[in-house]
Structure 1
């Protein structure tokens, strides 16, 4: 009887014992050979190639189950076993993701949490959530950053950061300032996503390190090292409008000490569409190719030596639907046609000395051949840049010394450019990051530039970092910025031929003072969730602001230094959540006020939204190896450029939103299939407006009657007294469309 009782008890325990099953993943992909075990017991398992595991015959009770993998942050969950099997999934986080490395804020590779300057990081995974043919468009889902389309005909644009216009943003590739006003968008086009390591964004002035144009912020595109790049990659998608984009490339080893990366981007759109029936193309037609190549050379003591080059060519046009190249530059059929050829070279070379000294250099050659109706714009811009830095750490001090020289050449055929603008601007800068104690750091920096046209320009900055805990940080930054203006490289509206350009005075360089407060916190829960919260508040004061005046005379753009002040202020909040069930949420909101005060009158800056919201929500269905991405943005009202009191178009934009959804199937080896819908709401700026392009039926103003002062008069054929104008645009004029793509990666 005793043995029978023991047998029945054991049988009862066995019958009540349940299995624990599940998967261990990283960013939705299976992790093979990960360890999974029950804390305080000897029971555990190892995942197979599918990332699956099973721990058999577990008695009823409460347990803590832990998943671990070398190089990843261990994750634990609490489970309860009753009379059913338990299924539990883990989504581990790469340890490096918990403490990302950034270089843009201080010109040094430092932990994001240790950097005294707040830097935002966006990886190729972020860019894949809403596939675009270039990074310019991808930035529409970054909080506080807005790609601005400046012309509804040719679709040229720039990047706004915290409400400041494109010329205030400096774009870099691998830390080299290779672009400026004429070519900001081109610098963000044509680099395949698979060759991008990360995109770093700094909001606020950084002129003490980077000089002119780094007034509103920085966008630094960092390309991959060869060891991090795929062996072969290809990514192509098509849209229902007829757009076709291709990214392709490979890496190879040449000899024992040289690695090369090659990437090619090709984009084509050749299907004229006019959904708003104004006889003008809704989307500019484009034929673009970009070839990027990067060489990495192995040297003694792992010293750095890399070189990269890029060739970019684009043929784009927009205009009346019946336009073709035979009408280029004439006054019969209106079209805006732009041929762009661009070359870029950049390099990094660590000097063969005991000290850590780095020589960086870049050169760009940009040639633009454009016509806007019958107005030609022929421009050449060359920028050479060289910089030598000395990184010298001492006890409680981390010093950085640098000298730089920038060569600018600009020439065009406009009346304002009587002769080519050619200048060399030498610079010297110093930075000292002082470790006060374990929780407090102070950064002091200053830069001296000499421009013979404007004299000495001095830009200091100070940054303070307080780190009360390992995952919490408070930063306070203050500094100055400056910008030397090349007017016609930045104002497309001045080139369309619809308005006369008036330069009221000799323009002085713009200067700014900025204060920025930032708070960042990371939170890890026992259930394997990770949350990142980042909040910022800023205030920027501009003097000598160069503001285009569209209001005084509807037929003119008047440029002058503002006799007053301009202020940009606001707050922003970002929330990044990674949940263990496969859900990832990135949301952000910004509220801002950008205004100009002159002669006691304050006005909001034109084409500047009062608030923005962005989101990206990803949910992975592990069972079906599928991911769903829902991305979008929301923009508040902005003041729009009208042509006069009788202009019937909306003086202020409505609240508008672009939303997208994407489905990705990852169940094929080395392949991903993705597709979805862009602009789900089918929003376009012509909704609620009688028209977008003023007098689209008379683009050369042949039937406009002008008075003796050159103002358009009201006539039966022109009841609003307007002239042709394509500058009334604040968002993309491309409606809802399907897209389908295929991605191949061989690592």
Structure 2
């Protein structure tokens, strides 16, 4: 090594004398960071100059012309890649991706840099293509089931009769979790109120979960976390076709089909799905525990790559749904005056994404979406009828130089709600947000990486917001990784996103909502911190172990909550939004363990969260009551075995220390599920799945609905309503 060092210095001196430079390059494995021997490092253009790495993974290129700004690296068993040349680093470190691992390599799109998951300074959990393929047959109608398997996520049912669900992360209300589709915030305001999680997994490539405050990336809302639902793209010039037929014991039928193919420079994906679910009264109390749903989804997407430097994607998404719940005899027509909840909705979305690389180190992106959402709802025989039109436009420039990835951009968000004549007191509004952001990913060395972001948003109604964020990734030693992140966020008031009532018996149905008093109600602001310690290693025995221990803290100032208003109607007191006289905080830990050995896979997850109020109550003393419907303990585990023809899996979940209003604690419960899958060949799969094997229902612990059948009262939903669900699915892939 000493001789090599002196030879390098000699060559460097000679090159300098002729106005050229010698460069020292170290080539490593991207996952293990071990040196790669006999890798070839060379220029891609004339004059062709190169060298081969030694036993330490070191290569020295003598007399490298100053005009060369990139080098190509290749090695047996690795993908050939091109790397930009840093003008400041003494030793260039190039990391190659193994060809064997390339198929399993996960690229995260939600961070805008399309970076590999192991390179990111922020913690991202990804449910990949294999998970989506499995879930598309196990629970083909929606993604809520697979998201609920993650310990830090709690799926909250927000209505006893219409089946609507929402996501809690880190113990916070659902409105603090931002949901994206292909990196676009499509589900804001009125359009995010119902059915967002009923996206069939057959249409998806992966789901990305970013924990903690990341509002700097996409604007206000991502206070508890962000979920990015990523669609599939065509990968082969051979056609891919999958069809799935499913039937469940809850009288649900699903028929889904997916097609994709590349045609040279163009490509197409096409998804179509239909769900027909009958209304079912599981508990025999007369009310539907599972609503009637008739839903049709249609999602074509077109891809065009005119050159290696340019790509354009254009998609269209259509959803039409009829949903009906309430007193079953009213739905059947025998008691027409009894309670019914009827919803008809249509969602149209056109989205696009265009990227042009002006050089290997620079990429310009323009993306956006235009959507309309129309919903008619009849609740307690009162009609609400509204339409929301939304626009999202974004332009950004990603520049790579040295050890930096710098992205600068701006975006425009428009949300326009228009009410048709109905029985509500809602009013029209138009919200516009113009924002600018900058984010720098800086690889300081082999062991330290930083990600710093800053966003400035101007909202036409609620003012200006400045959001800084900083994330650090440390690699103290293989196989350890430590990530620390601190960020800020905000959430503007919106009548349609407060899916958890602020107090007991406060109603959130549209006929009881009063318009927002923008003169008195202010936006919420937050600060959050996350820390993750990860260990990942594959042993010589073949055992693969992954352990992740997370800690998090979030503080929300003056949260916007729903409260009783002084005015009332024949349904009772109206509901208004106010800034609460208290703040909120959430602190907790999340433990994730994954073991793989031969045909076996084991997942263990435990989440402990303390989420409560922090401030003065209306009566004066300090208010430290727990946030309602936020379990303090959640344990999840999955054990799976698979061979050439069979796959068996068992899942368990424990939900404990859950409180309602006024610190009223409810019962703890366990949830068990099992699935068996048979692969006849590479084309056919038959799946038998059973959710909630021991038939746990909230009705086992208390009466869910009371009062007259014309105007019933429903308890807060804190446990499953439907009980055991068994389904059988047949999947065919061409």
Short-chain TM bin: 0.7 to 0.9
Matched, 1:627 2:633: no
Query: CA contact under 8 A between 1:144 and 1:162: conserved in structure 2?
Result: yes
Query: CA contact under 8 A between 2:267 and 2:303: conserved in structure 1?
Result: yes
| Alignment correspondent of 2:339 | 334
Whole-angstrom distance in 2 between the partners of 1:158 and 1:299: 40
Question: Matched residue of 2:718: which SS?
Answer: coil
Determine which of 531, 535, 538 is the counterpart of 1:524: 538
| Alignment correspondent of 1:55 | none
Deviation at 1:247, TM superposition (A): 1.6
Query: CA contact under 8 A between 1:179 and 1:364: conserved in structure 2?
Result: no
1:123-272 equivalences in 2 (<5 Å): 123-127=128-132, 128=134, 130-184=138-192, 188-189=196-197, 191-227=199-235, 231-253=240-262, 256-270=264-278, 272=279
Whole-angstrom distance in 1 between the partners of 2:510 and 2:464: 36
Query: CA contact under 8 A between 1:351 and 1:359: conserved in structure 2?
Result: no
Query: CA contact under 8 A between 1:639 and 1:651: conserved in structure 2?
Result: yes
Deviation at 1:98, TM superposition (A): 6.4
Matched, 1:567 2:572: no
CA displacement, residues 577-600 of structure 1 (integer Å, 9 cap, x when unaligned): 1111x1111221100011012312
Matched, 1:483 2:491: yes
Deviation at 1:182, TM superposition (A): 3.2
| Alignment correspondent of 1:688 | 701
- 1:326–1:737: structure 2 CA closer, same or farther, 3 Å change rule? closer
Whole-angstrom distance in 2 between the partners of 1:537 and 1:253: 44
Query: CA contact under 8 A between 2:405 and 2:440: conserved in structure 1?
Result: yes
Query: CA contact under 8 A between 1:397 and 1:433: conserved in structure 2?
Result: yes
Q: Which sections of structure 2, spanning at least 5 residues, go unmatched?
A: 1-75, 80-97, 502-506, 617-621
- 1:188–1:575: structure 2 CA closer, same or farther, 3 Å change rule? farther
1:584-603 equivalences in 2 (<5 Å): 584-599=601-616, 600-603=622-625
Whole-angstrom distance in 2 between the partners of 1:617 and 1:658: 14
Deviation at 1:236, TM superposition (A): 1.7
Deviation at 1:676, TM superposition (A): 3.1
Deviation at 1:395, TM superposition (A): 2.0
| Alignment correspondent of 1:5 | none
1:333-732 equivalences in 2 (<5 Å): 333-351=338-356, 353-354=358-359, 355-412=362-419, 419-491=427-499, 494-496=507-509, 506-549=520-563, 557=575, 559-580=577-598, 582-599=599-616, 600-622=622-644, 625-641=645-661, 651-689=664-702, 691-695=703-707, 697-700=708-711, 724-732=712-720
Query: CA contact under 8 A between 2:394 and 2:412: conserved in structure 1?
Result: yes
Query: CA contact under 8 A between 1:502 and 1:556: conserved in structure 2?
Result: no
CA displacement, residues 204-243 of structure 1 (integer Å, 9 cap, x when unaligned): 1111110022222111111222016961101221112211
Determine which of 299, 302, 306 is the counterpart of 1:299: 306
Question: Matched residue of 1:167: which SS?
Answer: helix
Matched, 1:745 2:733: yes
Q: Which sections of structure 1, spanning at least 5 residues, go unmatched?
A: 1-68, 73-91, 643-649, 701-723
- 1:471–1:568: structure 2 CA closer, same or farther, 3 Å change rule? same
Question: Matched residue of 2:625: which SS?
Answer: strand
CA displacement, residues 412-457 of structure 1 (integer Å, 9 cap, x when unaligned): 4689866421132111111112222221112211000011212211
CA displacement, residues 340-360 of structure 1 (integer Å, 9 cap, x when unaligned): 100111111014744411001
**Superposed CA RMSD:** 2.9
Normalised to the residue count of structure 1, the TM-score between the two structures is 0.78
Which structure has the larger Rg?
Answer: 1
Question: Matched residue of 2:476: which SS?
Answer: strand
Question: Matched residue of 2:217: which SS?
Answer: helix
Normalised to the residue count of structure 2, the TM-score between the two structures is 0.79
Whole-angstrom distance in 2 between the partners of 1:464 and 1:168: 23
CA displacement, residues 651-677 of structure 1 (integer Å, 9 cap, x when unaligned): 432112322111101133410111132
Whole-angstrom distance in 1 between the partners of 2:140 and 2:78: 32
- 1:143–1:620: structure 2 CA closer, same or farther, 3 Å change rule? same
Question: Matched residue of 1:248: which SS?
Answer: strand
| Alignment correspondent of 2:5 | none
Query: CA contact under 8 A between 1:237 and 1:246: conserved in structure 2?
Result: yes
Whole-angstrom distance in 2 between the partners of 1:167 and 1:445: 23
Question: Matched residue of 1:96: which SS?
Answer: coil
Whole-angstrom distance in 1 between the partners of 2:575 and 2:615: 17
Query: CA contact under 8 A between 1:170 and 1:218: conserved in structure 2?
Result: yes
Deviation at 1:326, TM superposition (A): 7.2
Whole-angstrom distance in 2 between the partners of 1:169 and 1:471: 31
Query: CA contact under 8 A between 1:198 and 1:223: conserved in structure 2?
Result: yes
Whole-angstrom distance in 1 between the partners of 2:366 and 2:632: 42
Question: Matched residue of 2:496: which SS?
Answer: helix
